Structure 1
Amino acid sequence: MTGPLWAETLPVPIGWLKVEQPAPPVLSNLATKADDLGVAGARLGLADNATTGSFMGHDYKLTETLVPEGEDPLAAARAALADTPLLLIDAPADIIVQIADLPEARSAVLFNTARGEDRLRQQDCRANLLHTAPSDAMLSDALMQFISARRWSRLALIQGGHPGDAEFAAALDASATKFGQKIEARKTWEFDADMRRNASAEVPLFTQDLGEYDLLLLADTLDDFDRYIPYNTWLPRPTAGTEGIVATAWSPVVEQWGAAQLQGRFDELAGRDMQAQDYAAWAAVRSIGEAVTRSGVADPSALRDFLLSDDFELAGFKGRQQSFRDWDGQMRQPIPLVHDRAVVAQAPLEGFMHQQTELDTMGADRPETTCTAFAN
């Protein structure tokens, strides 16, 4: 009589690395971030992986590394990579590139879970770097699809003075051109006074010379001034971009396609609402879990090949299967367009066609990419 056969346990260590940055001054103290932003999503993804992994002998572990301000992020990355070749990163774009270029990272699979800069998917792309955070181009394309569908042809823009504001404004410009729109008037935010007292007086005068427009776009990636713009403009017009109608990877108001169940499990784990960075980290850990489940291995090279193949799909609670583009490592995914209390629409919108998948109408498509790292 033959006894039971026990499968050997397959260890799957995963790392999460965050490089803390000094918070720039903003006009309002209302904009606060959770201490566990991002990593809470990774923890939920780990719990979800364990549900299936426990039956298959897959042992998932998460190691969390927080790099305080002023400490060496590359030394911390080397230490994290010594423990696992599967690493989620929340760091400025330049540091992400430096980590990806480390000799210790050459055979690793890294996940950008926080940064939207298009250059990380274009001229600064790296073959070992995948992105579960949507690019700025994906977000701005989603927004321009909605604007085009509503036939709001006259657009104005206010952008802040932070480098991230300029990058997002450039993405809005590119998306406007892509979808046959034009931003006709623009201004740069110039105030540093307390808008809690002055917004109703200053903002109408500031926006008066923008002329006629259907929609006012806001590029304020620090959430510095944009909260003071709606309902204070000279013309009674809607706002979009970083305030008003916002394109995002995830929002607490997403409820369809089983999202309410994901929201509930996250709230039970973290005691708060799930944010876009939480979702990106969850998607990265779940992508690892799905790849290990389907391939049966934890080797980073084999996992990378599977993640970039046509066989990989992730059920991301947004109504469509999500996958990685094999030309720049970006996860293709639906983009909810939301305000604080509800989903307005979800891109890709009906009518925006693509020969492969409508998800590739947002962000850099294969013919548009300047990334060469994935060519081989």
Structure 2
Amino acid sequence: MHGILRGLVVAFGLFVSAAAAQTPVAVEVTYLRQVVPPPPTLSNLDPRPEDRGPAGAALGLSDNATTGRFLGQDWSLELVDVAPGADWAAAVADRLATDAFVLLDAPAEQILAAADAAQAAGSAALLINVSAEATDLRAGSCRANLLHTVPSLAMRADALAQMFVKKRWEEIALIAGQNTSDQAYAAALRASLAKFGLGLEAETDWTFDADMRRSAAAEVPLLTQPLGDYDVLLVADEVHDFGRYILYNTWAPRPVAGSEGLTAEGWAPVVEQWGAAQLQSRFQEASGRQMLPRDYAAWAAMRSLGEAVTRTGSADPATLRDYMLGPDFELAGFLGRPLTFRPWNGQLRQPIPIVHPRALVAQAPLEGFLHQVNELDTLGLDRGEAGCTAFE
């Protein structure tokens, strides 16, 4: 026993000495957010937390600092909001002049503009997208200085398609909203159904502007009756306007999935396995609310930087980028398997929880969906599909 204690004391002493010998590393991160007013919706039951995203980054900062204080790391995080109508380009230029690491929370076109501005200015900054799910940012519009911790629309849609294959729900119907984000998700769902050999038997658009709180029981059956018979009804309503009124009001009693009912998300409050309950409780304690997908993406971005800084002992953005895209990087993300970055387009590989509001139903990739390199690459754009040349 005394020998064991002596060994522990010696090991601890070596650890402290090694930590003390570390060259101090300062890591300054900016969370740059374009404030986007939410579109009007039929219901006010889902208020959007003002700290959605920054709260996740703050928890990641705390996690990094906990480890970093023993290794000579000095972490800081600054939130910079760009008001609607304000000069996004000027805000980007201002941050690139001072910070080497920027988390971007903005629409896809503005994230792309930020990446191009950094390249044009000769900035070595590493940018991480924590909000824009547009698949094209991982495809033809990819940029070498831009990584993604938020899953793409294609990843979320592929997760549902795998679930449908396992359930043998082969005949699908679709209702799509008119918002741009609704249409983008609908396009991703169509592509995933085709990818996995499922049939889109019928589809229609949501064009109602009536108050569904009073008329859903009358209007929704009329809308869905012409869709005929199907195994599952997909709803593309990413602004969460009308989808809640589809459930239990359809002409045919069938499951509803997509933006409502059975959903595929980067993260959900009902994820509790693989140590996730501990992350959920720490976030709840810090922010006073449940962790949402954008919070998780921001947390994963901060933790990815933290893991790379710890492993390399460097705060050089080029060094960290190379490590994060390399074979030795792994992030423990509380999703059952290590998370890694795809070296061909900078997307974080991650399992996708398939959930309903009260429980986790499954997690994609589902059993039986195999890949020659990594089963997580059955979700979203594989190397041969991406068409991204910036990372070559």
The TM tier, using the shorter chain, reads over 0.9
Is contact 1:247–1:335 with CA below 8 Å preserved after alignment? yes
Inter-partner Cα distance in structure 1 for 2:55 and 2:37: 21
Is contact 1:106–1:128 with CA below 8 Å preserved after alignment? no
Residues 1:108 and 2:125 aligned together: yes
Inter-partner Cα distance in structure 2 for 1:39 and 1:110: 15
Residues 1:31 and 2:54 aligned together: no
Residues 1:297 and 2:314 aligned together: yes
Question: In structure 2, what is the equivalent of residue 120 of structure 1?
Answer: 137
Measure how far apart 1:80 and its partner are.
Answer: 1.7
Question: In structure 2, what is the equivalent of residue 81 of structure 1?
Answer: 96
Question: In structure 2, what is the equivalent of residue 313 of structure 1?
Answer: 330
Inter-partner Cα distance in structure 2 for 1:53 and 1:83: 22
Q: Deviations over 1:76-134 (max 9, x none)?
A: 11112222111101101111010001134741111110111101111111000000000
Q: 1:104 to 1:14 in 2, by over 3 A?
A: farther
Q: 1:6 to 1:355 in 2, by over 3 A?
A: closer
Is contact 1:335–1:346 with CA below 8 Å preserved after alignment? yes
Letter in 1 for 2:70: F
SS at match of 1:98: helix
Match of 1:283 among 289, 300, 303: 300
Question: In structure 1, what is the equivalent of residue 65 of structure 2?
Answer: 50
Residues 1:331 and 2:348 aligned together: yes
Measure how far apart 1:303 and its partner are.
Answer: 0.5
Inter-partner Cα distance in structure 2 for 1:54 and 1:293: 11
Residues 1:371 and 2:388 aligned together: yes
SS at match of 1:56: coil
Question: In structure 2, what is the equivalent of residue 350 of structure 1?
Answer: 367
Inter-partner Cα distance in structure 1 for 2:379 and 2:60: 25
- Aligned 1:1-376 pairs, distance under 5 A: 6-102=21-117, 103-104=120-121, 106-375=123-392
Letter in 2 for 1:91: A
Measure how far apart 1:362 and its partner are.
Answer: 0.4
Is contact 1:173–1:182 with CA below 8 Å preserved after alignment? no
- Greater shift in the superposed pair: 198-207 or 278-287: 198-207
Letter in 1 for 2:101: L
Measure how far apart 1:297 and its partner are.
Answer: 0.3
Inter-partner Cα distance in structure 1 for 2:60 and 2:357: 25
Measure how far apart 1:293 and its partner are.
Answer: 0.3
Gaps of 5+ in 1: none
Is contact 2:264–2:355 with CA below 8 Å preserved after alignment? yes
SS at match of 2:97: helix
Is contact 1:100–1:106 with CA below 8 Å preserved after alignment? no
- Greater shift in the superposed pair: 88-97 or 163-172: 163-172
Inter-partner Cα distance in structure 2 for 1:99 and 1:76: 9
Measure how far apart 1:143 and its partner are.
Answer: 0.5
Q: Deviations over 1:157-214 (max 9, x none)?
A: 0000112111111111111111110111000001011111111111111111100001
Is contact 2:217–2:249 with CA below 8 Å preserved after alignment? yes
Inter-partner Cα distance in structure 1 for 2:23 and 2:338: 31
Measure how far apart 1:154 and its partner are.
Answer: 1.0
Is contact 2:96–2:123 with CA below 8 Å preserved after alignment? no
Inter-partner Cα distance in structure 2 for 1:185 and 1:83: 52
Is contact 2:266–2:293 with CA below 8 Å preserved after alignment? yes
Inter-partner Cα distance in structure 1 for 2:389 and 2:178: 32
Letter in 1 for 2:46: A
Measure how far apart 1:74 and its partner are.
Answer: 1.3
Instruction: Using structure 1 for the length normalisation, give the TM-score.
Output: 0.97
Is contact 1:37–1:277 with CA below 8 Å preserved after alignment? yes
Question: In structure 1, what is the equivalent of residue 11 of structure 2?
Answer: none
SS at match of 2:272: coil
SS at match of 2:70: helix
SS at match of 2:69: helix
Gaps of 5+ in 2: 1-16
Count of aligned positions = 372
SS at match of 1:13: strand
Report the structure number with the largest CA radius of gyration.
2
Inter-partner Cα distance in structure 2 for 1:282 and 1:77: 21
Is contact 1:145–1:348 with CA below 8 Å preserved after alignment? yes
Instruction: Using structure 2 for the length normalisation, give the TM-score.
Output: 0.93
Identity fraction in percent: 56
Question: In structure 1, what is the equivalent of residue 7 of structure 2?
Answer: none
SS at match of 1:137: helix
Q: 1:148 to 1:105 in 2, by over 3 A?
A: farther
Inter-partner Cα distance in structure 2 for 1:248 and 1:22: 22
Inter-partner Cα distance in structure 2 for 1:251 and 1:371: 30
